[in-house]
Amino acid sequence: MDSNSKISLHTGNKIPVLGLGTWQLTDKTAETVLRALELGYRQIDTSSDYGTQPGIGEALKKTQQDRKKIYVVTKVEEDDDAFDRTKSNLHELGLEYVDLMLIHRPPAIGAGEELWEGLMRAKQEGLVRDIGVSNYSAMLIQQLIDAGGEVPAVNQIEWSPFGHSEEMRQYCDEKKIVIQAYSPLTRGKCLEEPILKNVAGNYVRSPAQILIRWNLQRGTVPIPKANQNEHLEENINVFDFEISDDDMELLNGLNEEYSSLGSLPYV
């Protein structure tokens, strides 16, 4: 596995194993994204409400990388007209299509069936390659499917050794839905945890690198955000070591359904 490696989605398309998060990457977005692409990041995650789409668009125009090799993920909000928002996202990004469009979070009532129809139409019309959800429970995903919708390619949820759910993992495995792991570094909050630090010491790596590698080895797709150059470099320098089965078990055991938002919306 390296930074060009990909995981297959149930649609037949593929998603790079690691991405760059861009929430709050509003200082010098274009410069940071360009640097990330130079370092080997092949997936960029954004949303209509992050304020980073224009900067990402600028970086994508400037980069030497072929558009087809860069995987762009963005989102529509729960009160949007999903089809219209897809078009305005593309406009902000300066792109003809994105690789993945997600419903950012379920609406207050229902599972977002109307949003899902808007995204299915956007897919049919070639504006997006794949569609998925974010912050969805298994029950809400099932509601979308039962309403005749296609199975989401991805569920983007908060996911780390400190906060994850084996039940969600099992449901996604059954449906062949890939889990994209947001806040994989716990927004920096759990990096000093002693067991994590001990495991990191075994490989002479940083706790952040262990959190990213834990995801990679479990087949979930981490999208760490990093503004600082040394963080960008550190977070992609995770392909030349392997966490042992015993240490993976120790990390799995850290689960306390931790959430930087207060609670995991999918549990």
Ligand X SMILES: NC(=O)c1ccc[n+]([C@@H]2O[C@H](COP(=O)([O-])OP(=O)(O)OC[C@H]3O[C@@H](n4cnc5c(N)ncnc54)[C@H](OP(=O)(O)O)[C@@H]3O)[C@@H](O)[C@H]2O)c1
Contacts with ligand X by CB under 6 A lie at 21-23, 45, 104, 134-135, 156, 182-188, 191, 206, 208, 223-228, 231, 234-235
**Which residue in this structure is represented by tokens 């001990």?**
198
**82/185 with CB nearer ligand X:** 185
Closest CB to ligand X among residues 57, 246: 57
48 is written with which tokens?
A: 């209509």
Shortest distance in whole angstroms from residue 20 CB to ligand X: 8
Of residues 63 and 237, the one with the C-beta less far from ligand X? 237
Give the nearest distance from C-beta 82 to ligand X in angstroms. 15
Smallest separation, CB 55 to ligand X (Å) = 13
β-partners of residue 160 are 163
Provide the minimum distance between the beta carbon of 208 and ligand X in the complex, in angstroms, as a whole number. Answer: 3
Whether 131 and 150 have beta carbons less than 8 Å apart is answered as yes
Query: Which residue out of 50, 71, 136, 266 is catalytically annotated?
Result: 50
Pairing of strands 43-45, 71-76: parallel
Residue number, 126 or 135, with CB nearest to ligand X: 135
CB of residue 119 to ligand X, shortest distance in Å = 15
Length of the chain: 267
Sequential DSSP letters for 137-166: -HHHHHHHHHTTPPPPSEEEEE-BTTB--H
Is 50 annotated in the active site? Answer: yes
Cβ neighbors of 134 (< 8 A, separation 6 or more) are 75, 102, 103, 104, 105, 155, 156, 157, 180, 182
Which residue of this chain has its Cβ atom nearest to ligand X in the complex? 21
Residue 186 CB, nearest approach to ligand X (Å): 6
Cβ proximity to ligand X, 21 vs 112, nearer residue: 21
Q: Which is nearer to ligand X, 86 or 186 (CB)?
A: 186
Active-site annotation, residues: 50
